């Protein structure tokens, strides 16, 4: 049974199926037999009470293929197409702060970002999983990684919970390294927020805690990482800055200068 756009409208990102149709604005642009693995419709960022049946209620239509992502976007009265070929992706950032989610994909000399309600986090991560399977350096994941993750010792419940969730999905690892959260100084009460660094055969993954309620996952294909520097100084004594440049994306992560695990992690 099909559900009308208006009746279904809310903060949720829906996968197109027998119940949830392609929004009417996009129908003339879509060939339903074009080989897409799945499609998602992303709602406008408005309250339900402000919506009406005559509005175009979905700002984006994501068309996910084996080798690319095509995002159709409403811009005024027109449709703008964003094409992202997976083999040109240099980095993916998945940010979350409470109910705010933000996905950014870096590719060629461009990037694509959209925000969403985190009630649809799992749905958005299906897109991330497809990108990761298809971008530079992707392989079967069945390599010779021999790292024993039981070596990791977390002192932060956030990392404990995230590790329990992701470790069975992401194994095997070549190496992992952890930076604990701790105060940076007594003057401004700032903190060095923790980070978890995971190396797979084809990919770097960095989980960064960015605040009390915010964090992000960074996914970087290893053969797209053009420069890695663990010796960059920072404004804080005893703290180094990890700099990773991957295509058109650059990442900075603070860590204790004497954290040999992180230095060794990026050492080869």
The domain that holds 76 is classified in CATH as 2.30.29.30
Q: What's the pLDDT band for 248 if we cut at 50, 70, 90? A: confident
| Together in a domain, 189 and 113 | no
Strands 225-233 and 195-199 come out as unpaired
Q: Among 134, 169, 189, which residue terminates a domain?
A: 134
* CA proximity to 73, closest of 123, 19, 114, 127: 114
Report yes or no on 168 lying in a domain: yes
| Together in a domain, 218 and 245 | yes
Q: What pLDDT does 212 receive? A: 92
Q: What pLDDT does 188 receive? A: 59
Report yes or no on 245 lying in a domain: yes
Q: How many structural domains compose the chain?
A: 2
Report yes or no on 141 lying in a domain: no
Report yes or no on 143 lying in a domain: no
* CA proximity to 203, closest of 179, 186, 220, 182: 220
Q: Is the pLDDT at 187 greater than 60, yes or no?
A: no
**Could you tell me the residue range of the domain that residue 97 belongs to?**
5-134
CATH number of the domain residue 213 falls in: 2.30.29
Report the distance separating Cα 203 and Cα 132, nearest Å. 9
Report yes or no on 140 lying in a domain: no
| Together in a domain, 164 and 231 | yes
Report the distance separating Cα 241 and Cα 256, nearest Å. 9
């Amino acid at each position: 049974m099909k559900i009308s756009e208006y009746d279904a409208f809310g903060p949720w990102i829906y996968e197109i199926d027998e119940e949830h149709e392609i929004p009417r604005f996009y129908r003339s642009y879509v060939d339903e037999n074009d080989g897409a693995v799945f499609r998602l419709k992303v709602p406008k960022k408005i309250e339900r009470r402000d919506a009406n049946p005559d509005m175009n209620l979905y700002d984006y239509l994501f068309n996910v293929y084996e080798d690319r992502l095509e995002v159709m976007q409403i811009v005024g009265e027109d449709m703008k197409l964003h094409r992202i070929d997976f083999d040109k992706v240099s980095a993916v950032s998945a940010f979350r702060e409470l109910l705010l989610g933000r996905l950014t994909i870096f590719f060629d000399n461009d990037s694509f970002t959209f925000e969403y309600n985190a009630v649809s986090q799992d749905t958005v991560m299906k897109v991330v999983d497809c990108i990761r399977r298809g971008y530079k350096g992707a392989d079967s994941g069945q390599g010779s990684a021999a790292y024993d993750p039981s070596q990791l010792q977390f002192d932060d419940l956030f990392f404990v919970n995230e590790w329990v969730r992701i470790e069975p999905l992401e194994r095997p690892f070549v190496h992992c390294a952890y930076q604990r959260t701790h105060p940076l100084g007594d003057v401004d009460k700032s903190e060095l927020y923790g980070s978890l660094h995971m190396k797979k055969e084809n990919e770097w993954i960095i989980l960064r805690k960015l605040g009390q309620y915010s964090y992000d996952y960074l996914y970087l294909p290893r053969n797209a990482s053009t420069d890695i520097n663990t010796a960059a100084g920072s404004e804080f004594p005893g703290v180094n800055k990890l700099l990773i440049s991957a295509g058109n994306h650059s990442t900075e992560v603070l860590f204790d200068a004497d954290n040999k695990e992180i230095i060794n992690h990026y050492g080869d």
